[in-house]
Amino acid sequence: MAAGNNALHRMRELVERLNEASKAYYAQDREIMSNREYDALCDELEALERETGMVLAGSPSVNVGYEAVDELPKEAHESPMLSLGKTKDREELKSWMGDKEGLLSWKLDGLTIVLTYQNGELVKAVTRGNGEVGEVITNNARVFKNIPLKIKYQGELILRGEAVITYEDFEAINSRIADVEARYKNPRNLCSGSVRQLNNQITAERNVRFYAFSLVRAQENGEAVDFENSREKQYQFLAGQGFDVVQYMRVDAACILDAVADYEERIKTYEVPSDGLVLIYDDMEYGRSLGRTAKFPRDSIAFKWADEIRETTLKEIEWSPSRTGLINPVAIFEPVELEGTTVSRASVHNISILKGLKLGIGDRITVYKANMIIPQIAENLTGSDTVEIPAHCPVCGGETRLRAVGEAQSLYCMNPDCEAKKIKTFTHFVGRDAMNIDGLSEATLEKFIGRGFIRQYRDIFHLDEHKDEIVAMEGFGEKSYQNLMDSINAARETELPNLIFSLGISNIGLANAKVICRFYDYDLAAMRKADAQELSGIDGIGEIIGRAFEDYFSDGQNVEKFDNLLKEVHINREETDAQGQTLEGKTFVVTGSLAHFGSRNELKALIEKKGGKVAGSVSAKTVCLINNDITSASSKNKKAKELNVPIVTEEQFMAEYLEMSPDNGI
């Protein structure tokens, strides 16, 4: 066993070193080892793989490849995957142990996965799902950070484990997301989304890891492996096959309390998310003899850490409107430390809960984090019951009313024109093809609008007036605030088509906005005076779009808001070369992958710059369909053939219509 463990340790070391060298050479344009050394290490790894019969995840000797699927198929489990009975009482855990020995391990907080190996190869991976039916995620499991793709055991091996993302990887992934509200709330949510991706390249980028915690079956030629009735020997067998097994300690009644205390200390620095511990009897026969209840197996039990509760003072109730008109009460209290972070806010959810807690400003309350994540009020120690329910919406001042939603009462704004209900308008305004302001997700906009920071477009450019409040908001901070301000200031420099598109005028996309701007030679004053009849005469615009454009600039409120917006931005005039409008009046359709342009949008932008238009579907007006796969049986190719529209490759289009040689670059 020792020799096998040494070989496995060396294999892991080699995989890490070789992948590091490969990344440096191919992605970072630097060398950290010679070709000779790289080849020698590869030879050593391949020899060890032949000797042990194992191939570790990430080994350069295999190429897993990326694959996208349309959906994840579902599959029923052979037997239901039950939840565990739970306790927060350490003495109860000791009593449950009795005179038996057991294994005490981390209860990892991720997504449970069932792996199946046959003839030494991974053939299937299925999520826990609802316990009865899971989703098949085999392609994704193949790119987990630490799953062995080949093992030396040649029989059928079925095991269960937890897919997780470490805190370090979680923080790294979130740090790359500029928008605070778009960041993942916790590692478990990130892991769940990563494991269930339709494209396993995304899964590979998330560094998902797998820790085995249960061996379901190990059988070859009808003979099961003899583990001498020991759960620990199963763990040792799995470790010998190359799996990372969940960390555990062998315990009995005499030492279990000390073991729990040890875990309690270690969880403060443990890199893998855990929401408790699991205790299981080492004696497998004894455990099986206990049977199970309708919900839980009797051979194991979960220990959950007791909620950390802090006492504090309620400072105010903030009323936060949403796009549905629902106004949520949020408790603001003196900051307290909970589970390692400072919290000062907790949602009260609805009026029924608020009344049930009998809240009043200045009351002494206790707070905790549900599942160690979401701040909640546990109890009101004062119970003054003096909070007044607002009769008017804090955003628009409109009338509010109580409504029964199920058995709970909730507060709603009755004004259909409330700014909080127009969240989609602001979401569109900050979008990539509009003003392109990073850091303002729909959820963040909803919060800012709810607090009265934003009532019209120009207010977005003055969010610096609310710096102290924004920095103090949960999930924000100085760095996130500064990133947001930088993005807003960058958005002050814009182009006219993007500005027109940002207004959300009905049926006017970015392409139509560009057509209108070109027609009026980017003269905004002339565009604002345009009538529907004149606009409808523009090729590709028509009466409906023309009417919508005229109606927008005929509305006094729209004009006032637009004028206020113009004071905040500088419109850059795109220089157009009249002689360069070689595609004026021509419509094209682009489909499929491209080789010479970074994306279809890049080619589209070039066509539009030369006066042409790119449509989404083939019609009789289409000059040609650009598709590198001319012989494909796609719907666009079929339509083009029906209408006698030429199908040309990217290179043919560049040569004939752009007068560009692919060899000369773009």
What tens digit of pLDDT does each residue of 182-205 get?
667 778 888 988 898 888 888 888
For residues 41-69, average pLDDT: 78
d(CA 426, CA 446): 9
Q: How confident is the model at residue 382 (pLDDT cuts 50, 70, 90)?
A: very high
Residues labelled catalytic: 107
Residue 340 pLDDT greater than 80, yes or no = no
Shortest CA distance to 4 belongs to which of 12, 257, 412, 226?
Answer: 12
Q: Give the pLDDT of residue 182.
A: 62
Q: How far apart are CA 228 and CA 234, in angstroms?
A: 9
Report the pLDDT value the prediction gives residue 185, as an integer from 0 to 100: 72
Nearest C-alpha neighbor of 449 from the set 435, 463, 428? 463
Model confidence at 2: pLDDT above 80: no
Range among 1-5, 278-282, 399-403, 422-426 rated most confident: 278-282
Give the pLDDT mean for 576-586: 73
Distance CA 16, CA 81 (A): 34
Name the average pLDDT for the chain: 86
Is the pLDDT at 279 greater than 50, yes or no? yes
How far, in Å, CA of 344 to CA of 480, rounded? 19
The pair of three-digit structure tokens given for residue 431, joined into one six-digit string? 């979008």
Secondary structure (H, E, C), 101-144: CEEEEEEECCEEEEEEEECCEEEEEEECCCCCEEEECHHHHCCC
The verdict on pTM exceeding 0.95 is no
Residues facing 321 on adjacent strands: 327
pLDDT of residue 26: 47
Over range 466-478, report the average pLDDT: 86
- Judged against a pLDDT cut of 90, whether residue 508 lies above it is answered with no
Whether residue 32 is predicted with pLDDT greater than 80 in this model: the reply is no
The secondary structure element, H or E, covering residue 542 is helix 542-554
**Rounded-to-integer distance, Cα 449 and Cα 454, Å:** 5
Q: Tell me the mean pLDDT in the region 601-623.
A: 84
Rounded Cα–Cα distance for residues 15 and 208 (Å): 17
Q: Which amino acid is at 78?
A: E
Higher pLDDT, 365 or 52: 365
The string of pLDDT tens digits covering residues 214-268 is: 999 999 888 899 999 999 999 999 999 999 999 999 999 999 999 999 998 888 7
pLDDT of residue 171: 86
The whole-number pLDDT of residue 449 equals 86
**Burial class of residue 345 in the structure, from the number of CB atoms within 10 Å of its CB (0-12 exposed, 13-18 middle, 19+ buried):** middle
pLDDT average, residue stretch 54-59:
84
> What percent of the chain stands above pLDDT 70?
92
What are the tens digits of pLDDT across the range 648-662? 999 899 888 887 765
- For the cut 90, the answer to whether the pLDDT of residue 600 exceeds it is no
Q: How far apart are CA 509 and CA 535, in angstroms?
A: 15
Question: Which range is least confidently modeled, 68-77, 122-131, 463-472, 602-611?
Answer: 68-77
Cα 376 to Cα 386: distance, rounded to the nearest angstrom: 20
At 369 the three-state DSSP class reads strand
What are 64-107's pLDDT values in tens digits? 555 555 678 888 888 778 878 888 889 999 999 999 999 999 99
pLDDT at residue 122 in the model: 95
Task: Give the whole-number percent of the chain exceeding pLDDT 90.
Answer: 44
Which of residues 470 and 372 earns the better pLDDT score? Answer: 470
Lowest-pLDDT choice from 268-272, 345-349, 400-404, 574-578: 574-578
Nearest C-alpha neighbor of 419 from the set 557, 565, 559: 557
pLDDT at 436: 92
For residue 366, the model assigns a pLDDT of 94
317, 359 in Cβ contact below 8 A?
Answer: yes
State residue 579's pLDDT score: 62
Predicted pLDDT of residue 198? 83
Taking the C-alpha atoms of residue 427 and residue 434, their distance in angstroms, rounded to an integer, is: 10
| Phi, psi dihedrals of residue 518, rounded to the nearest 5° | -65, -40
pLDDT reported for residue 665:
47
For the chain, the first-to-last Cα distance in angstroms comes to 60
pLDDT at 100: 95
Tokens of 644: 């006698």
pLDDT at 37: 74
Mean pLDDT over 607-625 rounds to 85
For residues 464-469, average pLDDT: 92
When comparing pLDDT for 325 and 227, which is higher? 227
Residue 180 pLDDT grade (very low, low, confident, very high; cuts 50, 70, 90): low
Rg (the chain; Cα; Å): 31
Whether residue 314 is predicted with pLDDT greater than 80 in this model: the reply is yes
Measured between alpha carbons, how far is 664 from 660 in angstroms, rounded to an integer? 8
Q: How does residue 35 score in pLDDT terms, banded at 50, 70 and 90?
A: low
- pLDDT score for 43: 80
Q: Which residue has the higher pLDDT, 569 or 514?
A: 569
pLDDT above 60 (res 327): yes
Chain centroid to CA 259: 36
Question: What is residue 666's predicted lDDT score, i.e. its pLDDT?
Answer: 45
Instruction: With a cut of 60, say whether residue 181 has pLDDT above it.
Output: no
Q: What pLDDT score does 29 carry? A: 44
Nearest to 649 by CA among 632, 619, 629: 629
DSSP states along 236-269: HHHHHTTPPBPPEEEE-TTTHHHHHHHHHHHTTT
Split at pLDDT 50, 70, 90, the class of 339 is confident
Highest mean pLDDT among 7-21, 22-36, 379-393, 441-455: 379-393
